Amino acid sequence: MNLPYPEQAALAVRPPKGMDPGRFAARYAQFQKLVKSGPHTEFTSDYHQKSMLRSIDNAHRLLGSKERDAFDITQRPKEVLEQYDMGGEDGRFGRGCLLARRLVENGARYVEVTTEYIPFVHWDTHDRGHETVERLHRVIDRPIATLIRDLESRGLLDRTLVVIASEFSRDMIIEGKPGGANAGDQASSPKDFLKLPNHYGQHRHFTGGSTVVLFGGGMKRGLVYGKTADERPCVAIENPVTISDLHATLFTAMGISPKTVYDIENRPFYATEDGKGKPVEAVFA
């Protein structure tokens, strides 16, 4: 379920406007008759058909359950909303964190909150990079801290793994002045960067030193695992963790073997790449 506007999430778990409970129940009953009597199409597999019917049934049960109230964050006390919500478009991530907390409290197994991809606004830092990053810190820092504190105060943090991650890292070093760089404008190290004027963005994707933050879920508190080089190319130089091993660590925290495999339509799907991921035991309490 994709909920781009958390304050409107309650609308996603209610029948459409004008659909009274009797009509809603009658439509579902008619749907069930069609499923039982209609022939199965030859263009989809049995697995796909069963998956689709299961999804429809789960959605219908959610719309009639008491847990759907968890989606309505508008009724929260004002002081709670203020801790999560910065207001306006910048408050959308915080409202998402509040919705995530409500869903976890009501038994949701997996929730993702994102700043959403909007070029030069919520994700990309090509334009006025440092100003954008500073604003993004304001957008995410307080809501994440509030979410962690709330989960802990409710006794939910130990069994909830909170993962803070991004797609990739960006270099902090200027690529030159706008309108065409010349050799005198280039920075070769982070120290040189501070001496250059007219910084207009953060560039150069690099994947050799990204950082992931893990809260709760049996993780050690205050542990910094690994180290990234201070100078370019800013790669991990101590205890590097591959993506497969990161996945294995997350699955292990959830009590799932990294070697888990599901056979779907005669094709194996592993929890980690080929089932070879190894958890980083040092991060567990």
Give the contacts of 234 (CB within 8 A, at least 6 positions apart). Answer: 169, 171, 206, 208, 209, 228
pLDDT at residue 150, as a whole number: 97
Q: Where are the domains of the chain?
A: 1-72, 75-209
Using an 8 Å Cβ cutoff, are 91 and 116 in contact? no
Confidence category of residue 135, pLDDT binned at 50, 70, 90: confident
Average pLDDT over residues 2-23: 88
CA 274 – CA 253 distance, rounded (Å):
19
Asked if the model's pLDDT at residue 138 lies above 60, the reply is yes
Quote the percentage of the chain above a pLDDT of 70: 81
User: CB count, 10 Å around CB of 175?
Assistant: 17
pTM of the model: 0.81
Q: 92-105 and 129-153 helices cross at what angle (nearest 10)?
A: 20
Quote the percentage of the chain above a pLDDT of 90: 44
pLDDT at residue 83, as a whole number: 92
DSSP 219: B
| Structure-block tokens of residue 34 | 């069609």
The β-bridge partners of 115 are none
Asked if the model's pLDDT at residue 198 lies above 60, the reply is no
Confidence category of residue 27, pLDDT binned at 50, 70, 90: confident
What is the overall mean pLDDT for the chain?
A: 84
Residue of 208, 213, 211, 207 lying closest to 236 (CA atoms):
208
pLDDT at residue 180, as a whole number: 40
| Structure-block tokens of residue 54 | 């299961």
CA 48 – CA 265 distance, rounded (Å):
10
CA 273 – CA 243 distance, rounded (Å):
9
Q: What is the pLDDT of residues 143-159, one digit of tens each?
A: 999 999 999 999 999 99
Q: What is the pLDDT of residues 202-244, one digit of tens each?
A: 566 767 788 899 999 999 999 999 998 887 777 889 999 999 9
pLDDT at residue 259, as a whole number: 95
Confidence category of residue 277, pLDDT binned at 50, 70, 90: very high
Asked if the model's pLDDT at residue 95 lies above 70, the reply is yes
Asked if the model's pLDDT at residue 261 lies above 90, the reply is yes
Confidence category of residue 178, pLDDT binned at 50, 70, 90: very low
For the chain, give the number of residues.
Answer: 285
Q: Which of 13-27, 117-131, 187-201, 251-265 has the highest mean pLDDT?
A: 251-265
pLDDT at residue 242, as a whole number: 92
pLDDT at residue 184, as a whole number: 46
pLDDT at residue 87, as a whole number: 82
Residue of 258, 167, 276, 159 lying closest to 217 (CA atoms):
159
Residue of 247, 253, 239, 250 lying closest to 273 (CA atoms):
247
Average pLDDT over residues 38-49: 70
Q: Which of 56-65, 165-174, 221-230 has the highest mean pLDDT?
A: 221-230
pLDDT at residue 195, as a whole number: 52
Phi, psi dihedral angles at 276 (to 5 degrees):
-100, 0
The β-bridge partners of 164 are 213
DSSP 284: B
Cis peptide before 143, with omega less than 30 degrees from 0? no
